[in-house]
A and B are shown apart, each in its own frame.
Chain A
Amino acid sequence: MNPAPLASGGLLAGAIVATAASLWMLLPNGRESVSTRRLGMLLGAAAMLAFVAAGRRLGGFGEEAVFLVVSLVAVVSAAATIVSRSPVYAAIWFALSLTGVAGVLLVLGAQFLGVATIVVYAGAILVMFLFVLMLAQPAGLAPYDRVSNEPFLAALAGAVLLGVLSLSIGRLSAGVPACCAAPARADAAAAGTADPPPADPPPAALAADPLAENHVARLGAELFGRHLVAVEAAGVLLLVALIGAIAVVSRGEEALAAEADAARAAAGRTAR
């Protein structure tokens, strides 16, 4: 049991370093060398393979395969988002990444959130981004899309953050927190068997999702029961954002009146 986490840790470290290196090669640097980008893509693919190999087995081939596919879609298209030269392509890669994230949420049993992510993000927010891009993007690639600020240091920062996070994720143990042990123990007590569950069960299959039955109804009850005040606050926030956006973007009555005067004067001049 002991060498396995060690090897997995080494694999994870290699994956993180390869991710950072491939990001550094792929990020726009103004030189656009095709061979560097190919090398970066190869390194990124190797990093993804190492991440897959270092990941824990879920047990149950179907669930594992689905999780693998959707998370790879999410991560690879997320990387493509930040290295795309054209912002329009970046937005479209981001949409693909959102579908991958929605798939991950579905695998995790969050049906409502998976669908809401697609509707809200890919349906509304992303289209707004694309509108602004079409309004504001000049033809062709702008020079500021072909360079980036400090790609090496940023990739290093990302690698350090990823390393710290995956270190702490790997240290998570199966110890049941105090908050969540209660229902299981109560069930066991009700059944008359007070024996604790075995400490390390084989990863034969995932446990059933306790949130699965009546999912949306219970989520709604939770949302509008315990969190009712927060829902009201979120509604007020949406209203304030709407009004604020309109107030910032509108030019005020004086400017509109001046424009109308100018238009009227121009019309009078052409009529005369």
Chain B
Amino acid sequence: MNAASLPLLQNALTVGAILFSLGLVGILTRRNLIVMFLAAEMMLQGISVSLVAWSRYHGDFGGHVLVIFVLTVAACEAAVALVFVLQAFSRTGRLDAAAWQSLREATVGRTIDRELPAIDTVPPRFPTLTPAGVQPATDADDSLEREHV
């Protein structure tokens, strides 16, 4: 609209570009299907920021309307994609994109997992209290619960 709002446009476009690039890096590198979808959504966020910035600059509602449609399509995409991820998980038991590497191009090399170090993080040290009283009977359900996710 005018020269005074140009710095705001450029800063907002830079933020959108950074978000888009981070999403690109995420979707290229990560192997977890869910994290790949999070990265795709992040690219959509970058696009939304850029569209709204242009909308502010031009004083026009076109960018806002387009972002509303981006939200709609993202909701549809998430629903359908999560169903496919669940189907893929029930077939392979993993959320791993490399579990489907038989679908790759003939010229692309096979992903080979190397041996990873046994433990990668230091286990958290929780404060301990001095045991007192009678030890309660253990619950049978405890063994079925997960330790952490």
Binding site for B on A (CB under 8 A): 19, 23, 27-28, 30-32, 51, 55-59, 67, 71, 74-75, 78-79, 81-82, 84-88, 90-91, 94, 97-98, 101, 104-105, 108-110, 112-113, 116-117, 120-121, 124-125, 128-129, 132-137, 139-151, 153-155, 157-159, 161-162, 165-166, 169-170, 172-174, 176-177, 179-180, 183-184, 197, 199-201, 203-207, 209-211, 218-219, 222-223, 226-227, 230, 234, 237-238, 240-242, 244-245, 248-249
- CB proximity of A214 to chain B, nearest CB, Å: 12
Are the CB atoms of A174 and B17 closer together than 8 Å? Answer: no
Chain B residues at the A interface, C-beta cutoff of 8 Å: 1-15, 17-26, 28-32, 34-35, 37-39, 41-42, 45, 48-49, 52-53, 55-56, 58-61, 64-65, 67-69, 71-80, 82-87, 89, 94-98, 111, 113-114, 116-117, 120-121, 146-149
CB-based contact B34/A71 at 8 Å:
no
B75 touches A172 (CB 8 A): no
Ranked nearest first, the 7 interchain pairs of A and B with the lowest CB-CB distance are: A82-B26, A56-B7, A241-B76, A210-B59, A174-B3, A154-B28, A148-B29
| Subset of 13 A-B contacts with CB under 8 Å | A55-B14, A56-B6, A75-B18, A82-B22, A82-B26, A87-B95, A110-B52, A129-B78, A132-B85, A146-B120, A158-B21, A184-B1, A201-B4
Does B1 contact A151, Cβ atoms closer than 8 Å? no
A197–B2 touching, CB < 8 Å: yes
Query: For B23, what are the chain A residues with a Cβ–Cβ distance below 8 Å?
Result: 78, 82
* Interface-centre pick from B17, B21, B59 (highest chain A CB count, 10 A): B21
Residue in A51, A94, A172, A240 whose CB lies within 8 Å of B42: A94
A97 to B19, CA, bound (A): 9
Q: Smallest CB–CB gap between A43 and chain B, Å? A: 15
User: Would A121 and B74 count as touching, CB distance under 8 A?
Assistant: yes
A245 & B56 in contact (Cβ 8 Å cutoff): no
Which residues on the A side are within 8 Å of B45 (C-beta)?
Answer: 74, 78, 97-98, 101, 117, 121
Q: How far is the CA of A82 from the CA of B36 in the complex (A)?
A: 9
Given A81-B38, A129-B78, A197-B2, are A149 and B83 neighbors across the interface (CB < 8 Å)? no
Chain B facing A: main interface SS: helix
Known: A149-B28, A161-B24. A78 touches B1 (CB 8 A): no
A82-B38, A146-B116 known, 17 other contacts, Cβ within 8 Å:
A23-B25, A32-B117, A56-B10, A59-B4, A75-B22, A82-B26, A113-B71, A117-B71, A132-B34, A134-B149, A144-B31, A145-B35, A172-B6, A172-B13, A174-B6, A183-B59, A223-B65
Hey, which chain B residues are within 8 Å of A79, CB to CB? 22
* Contact among B5, B15, B38, B121 with A75 in the assembled complex (CB-CB below 8 Å): B15
